[in-house]
A and B are shown apart, each in its own frame.
Chain A
Amino acid sequence: GESVGLHLPTLSVQEGDNSIINCAYSNSASDYFIWYKQESGKGPQFIIDIRSNMDKRQGQRVTVLLNKTVKHLSLQIAATQPGDSAVYFCADRSSGSARQLTFGSGTQLTVLP
């Protein structure tokens, strides 16, 4: 069945270093992908998205890479800051199910001083 998974449940990085969070998906029909950030006690917040006709998209300090060949998605955070500590979720949407996002279980990012 369809699944969206993250490679590591936890990731610790030094402040100022770059972070890379990875995600694998299984549905070949997925055509839209999103990264969310969830801080403790809050709902998920949108970070960046990418459509399947792209392989890279950049935002402010964040970059999402999409490799459709191996069904892999990554989120890169440049110059990681303490405020980046949170759980990060990837999600995908199938072109055949326009309403439903499928979420991974999340990676806890901890930024060390």
Chain B
Amino acid sequence: ETGVTQTPRHLVMGMTNKKSLKCEQHLGHNAMYWYKQSAKKPLELMFVYSLEERVENNSVPSRFSPECPNSSHLFLHLHTLQPEDSALYLCASSQEGGNTEAFFGQGTRLTVV
């Protein structure tokens, strides 16, 4: 079992749909992240949760709504998305308090039609 698991792996949704992405980490970390990866662009940090509290929100549109019910789970709720939101959405976790790497999930490939 991988350390960070994301579901679904692929998602196609219409602009009027509501869907959620799920992330679960089995590493005992206390911080979780959502990143967006578009073609030929650097990874863009969207949200950071530390100890289940949202500590960063990098000017992400309100059509993306994160939720962190506990330190092991992270959701990204999606509604009324635009075609330009199509991308790979990556979840990551890390242990705060020191210089340690972030561990990534496999990502959800989202296509908005």
Q: Quick check: is B112 within 8 A (CB to CB) of the other chain?
A: no
Q: Quick check: is B48 within 8 A (CB to CB) of the other chain?
A: yes
> How far does the Cβ of B39 sit from chain A's closest Cβ, in whole Å?
10
Q: In residues 10-62 of chain A, which contact B (Cβ within 8 Å)?
A: 31-32, 34, 36, 41-46, 49, 51
Q: Which residues of B contact A36 (CB under 8 A)?
A: 104
Q: Which residues of B contact A41 (CB under 8 A)?
A: 106
Once the chains bind, are A99 and B96 in contact (CB under 8 Å)? yes
Chain A interface helix/strand/loop/mixed: strand
Chain B interface helix/strand/loop/mixed: strand
Interface residues as binary, B52-77 with A (CB distance below 8 Å gives 1, 0 otherwise):
00011000000000000000000000
Q: Quick one: which of B6, B42, B56, B107 contacts A100, CB cutoff 8 A?
A: B56
Q: Quick one: which of B6, B50, B55, B104 contacts A45, CB cutoff 8 A?
A: B104
Q: Quick check: is B102 within 8 A (CB to CB) of the other chain?
A: yes
Q: Quick check: is B101 within 8 A (CB to CB) of the other chain?
A: yes
Q: Quick one: which of A45, A99, A106 contacts B56, CB cutoff 8 A?
A: A99
Chain A interface residues toward B at CB < 8 A: 4, 9, 31-32, 34, 36, 41-46, 49, 51, 89, 93, 98-106
Chain B interface residues toward A at CB < 8 A: 4, 6, 31, 33, 40-43, 45, 48, 50, 55-56, 90, 92, 94, 96, 99, 101-107
Shortest Cβ-Cβ A-B pairs, 3 listed: A43-B104, A32-B99, A103-B43
A43-B90, A99-B48 are known contacts; what are 15 more A-B pairs with Cβ within 8 Å?
A36-B104, A41-B106, A43-B4, A43-B104, A44-B104, A89-B43, A99-B50, A99-B55, A99-B56, A99-B96, A100-B48, A100-B56, A104-B42, A105-B40, A106-B42
